Amino acid sequence: MKTPLYVAGVTSKSSAELIGRARRSGYSVFGETLASSIGRSMSSVGKAERVYYITSPPIRMSAETPRQLMKSLAYDDLQVTGSDNCTFNKKQKELGLSDFTKIPNGVNGVEDRMSVVWEKGVHQGVLDPCRFVAVTSTNAAKIFNIYPQKGRIAIGSDADIVIWNPQGTRTISKDSHYHACDYNIFEGMTVHGVAEYVLVRGRVCAENGAVRVAEGHGRFIPMAVRPPYVYDIVKEKVNVPEEHPEENQNGNLAKKFAELDILIPEEKTMSALIAENLPIMTGHSPCSTPSVRGHVDGRRDMQESSFSISEELDKSGVRSCIKVKNPPGGKSSGFW
C-alpha cells in the first residue's frame, strides 16, 4: 500500500507532470498553482522591472508556462489555485536593487485570482465552468475538510455564493485595485469574468466592484483532521488504476494529453523524477526566501505570520458556486 501524502505548490510544467504521474500511480498527492504563475510570465518584463516581481515560487520566464499549468489544472494533474498574496510597494521592493537578499518577497494575487483563472482557463477554452468551480473552491474545501459546509450549495451548507458574469470585462490596474501597494503584476490585463455579487453566509459582501463588509462578520471555522478526500486514497478506499507505460503512447492517457496539447513526459522511475525536482541547496538553507520584516501602512504583513490558504478560507469562506448570466451558447443560466 502506498501511504505517502504530499501537498505541493507548483509553478512549472515538469512539476505538474510529476504530481500527475504520482497520482495515477496511487500516491495521495495534491498540487496547487498560483494566480501569479498562470496569469503571466516574465518574458515581457524588462530587467529593470523584475525586482517588483520577486516572489516564491518564482514567476517563470517562458510565455508558454501559464497555459501549460492551466492545462494541468484541466487534466487534474493540479487540483487547486491560490494566490499566496503578499504585497509590497515599489519603494520597499527597491531595497534590494543592489542586494538580492534584501528584496521583500511576494506579489499581489488574491483580488484578481478568480478573473485571471476564468480568463486563462474558461474564456480561452481550457477549462469548463464546472472545473473552474472545482479548482477555485470545492477542491480546497475538501482538502481542508470543511466540505460540504463550504464549497457547495445545499441545505445546511453556508450560503457562500458568487454571482458571476462571464461576459463582463474589466481592466486590472493599480489605480482601481484594493491592494495596499502602488503596482499590480497584472497591470493593463483585460479579463473576462466579473463577480457581480459575492455573498458570505447569505450576506452581500461585494457588489459590482464595491466591497461591503462589516467588522466582526467573519468567523473561525474549525477543520477536523484526516479529510476523507485526502485519506481515502491512503486507506485504499478509492480504487486508483494502475499506470501502464504503454498506455501513455497508445491508450486513453495519450489521447487526453493530445486533446489538451500537453507533452507526454519521458518515462522515468519515480525516484529519478523526484531527484530531478529537488530544490538546489543554497548556503545553509534548502531555500532562499528573502524578506523585509515590518508592517505596510498599518496593514498586516503576512511575512510575519503563519498565514496559509486554510486561514484565508477560515476568514472569508470558500467561494462555493458560480451562477452564470447569459452563458455562451444561449443556454439558460444556472448554478454549477
The larger pLDDT score, comparing residue 68 to residue 257, is at: 68
As a whole number, mean pLDDT of residues 183-208 equals: 96
pLDDT in tens, 267-301: 555 555 555 554 433 444 333 333 333 333 434 33
Contacts of 84 (CB under 8 A, 6+ apart): 9, 34, 36, 55, 56, 106, 109
The pTM of the whole model exceeds 0.75: no
Whole-number pLDDT of residue 234: 73
Residue 331 or 233, more confident:
233
Position 9 scores a pLDDT of 55
State yes or no: pLDDT of 322 exceeds 90. no
Digit-coded pLDDT (tens) for 23-82: 888 888 999 999 999 999 999 999 999 999 999 999 999 999 999 999 999 999 999 999
pLDDT of residue 178: 92
Residue 138 confidence (pLDDT): 97
pLDDT at 6: 54
111: pLDDT strictly greater than 50: yes
